[in-house]
Amino acid sequence: MAVTLVQVDAFSDRPFAGNPAAVCVLPAARSETWMQAVARELNLSETAFLVAQGEGFHLRWFTPVAEVDLCGHATLASAHVLWEDGHMPPAAMARFTTLSGELTARRDGDWIVLDFPAEVVREDSPPAGMIDALGVSPVWCGQNRLDWLVQVADEKAVLDTAPDFGALGRVETRGVMVTAAAAQATEADFVSRYFAPAFGIDEDPVTGSAHCALAPFWAERLGRTKLTGHQVSARGGVVRVEHQGKRVLLGGQAVTVLRSTLSEAAAADHG
């Protein structure tokens, strides 16, 4: 049976911006070995694999080198593909069973809204070598179960961050987000960049799961629960966030850029 891959630029309203993810809707579960091999071959920051399960879908995310517990942009891309390709009615809510529990997605005009867990960061002393590897002067440091968050003085400091990826990849963490309040002339409330070299991603263009931490972090500091984040990578992307206690709503747009079919040899799963 043919296996189709759909590449989507998530957290963007136009092609070649935001964060690309591949989405593969499968008729039945495949082995981890095969899924990891496909993700490694595609070499995108995330490849999502979905299998229908009950009233929703079982969803797993793979970087080129490892499976991850939570991924926002590939979930956004997955919901986009499920509606666009007719796997679900346009008005239906997408429900996903994942390593981070049940996640949902719904349409809101041209936007997709994800309901994700809040991943609150707690202030902590950074691990040895991390700040030197980032090359920044931190205002505040903390971590959650997934990542480290480093606040710097201003937007320029975020833009100027130039990590030593080899050194940063030796830090025991999924990734590090560097963030600051947005410059007053912009429409965003805060800006960020995200680095995860240990997981095969030197810099992720737009990171939904990082905004599960950034939303409560900036909501507390700015005194508002509804905010707009701008991830200022080279591709860039916008994430609307709403902090709701233990949950975070992430809003983004998505556009399909590529459809392809694996060859018969590549589609064979030998475990």
**pLDDT reported for residue 127:** 96
pLDDT of residue 51: 98
User: Could you read off the pLDDT of 105-121 as tens digits, one per residue?
Assistant: 999 999 999 999 999 99
Are residues 215 and 243 in contact, defined by beta-carbon separation less than 8 angstroms? yes
Task: Tell me the two tokens of residue 4.
Answer: 């189709």
Are residue 85 and residue 161 in the same domain, yes or no? no
Q: Give, in order, the Cα–Cα distances in Å from 26 to each of 52, 98, 119, 214.
A: 8, 15, 29, 33
* Same domain? 88 vs 154: no
With both helix axes pointing from N to C terminus, report the angle between 72-84 and 208-222 in degrees, rounded to the nearest 10. Answer: 120
Same domain, 69 and 183: no
Residue 265 and residue 57: Cα distance in Å, rounded? Answer: 26
Is the per-residue pLDDT at 184 higher than 90? no
Range of the domain at 184: 122-245
Which of these, 208, 241, 243, 256, lies nearest to 45 by C-alpha position?
Answer: 208
Q: How confident is the model at residue 271 (pLDDT cuts 50, 70, 90)?
A: confident
Mean pLDDT, residues 158-175 taken together: 97
Residue 169 placed within a domain: yes
pLDDT tops 90 at residue 186: no
| pLDDT for residue 2 | 86
Please report, for the domain that includes residue 91, its CATH number. Answer: 3.10.310.10
Mean predicted lDDT score pLDDT of the chain:
96
Question: Which pLDDT does position 215 carry in this prediction?
Answer: 98
Q: What is the mean pLDDT of residues 148-163?
A: 98
238 with 141, same domain: the answer is yes
241 and 155 housed in the same domain: yes
Tell me what the mean pLDDT of segment 79-108 comes to: 96
The verdict on residue 116 lying in a domain is no
For the annotated catalytic residues, the residue numbers are 46
130 and 28 in one domain? no
Does the residue 10 lie in any domain? yes
Question: What does the pLDDT read at residue 187?
Answer: 87
Question: What pLDDT, on a 0 to 100 scale, did the predictor assign at position 270?
Answer: 82
**How many structural domains compose the chain?**
2
As a whole number, mean pLDDT of residues 92-96 equals 97
One domain, residues 196 and 259: no
Kindly state whether residue 38 falls inside one of the protein's structural domains: yes
What span, in angstroms and rounded, lies between the C-alpha atoms of 134 and 107? Answer: 37
Does any domain span residue 137? yes
Q: Is residue 117 part of a domain?
A: no
110 located within any domain: no
If DSSP states are collapsed to H, E and C, what string results for 193-208?
Answer: EEEEHHHCEEEECCCH
Half-sphere exposure of 92 (CA within 13 A, CB side): 15
157 and 195 within one domain: yes
Q: For 9-59, what is each residue's pLDDT tens digit?
A: 999 999 999 999 999 999 999 999 999 999 999 999 999 999 999 999 999
Question: Alpha carbon 80 to chain centroid distance?
Answer: 14
Same domain, 126 and 238: yes
Residues 74 and 131 in one domain: no
> Is residue 108 one of the residues assigned to a domain?
no
Same domain, 19 and 92: yes
| Percent of the chain residues topping a pLDDT of 70 | 99
- Residue 77 and residue 132 in one domain: no
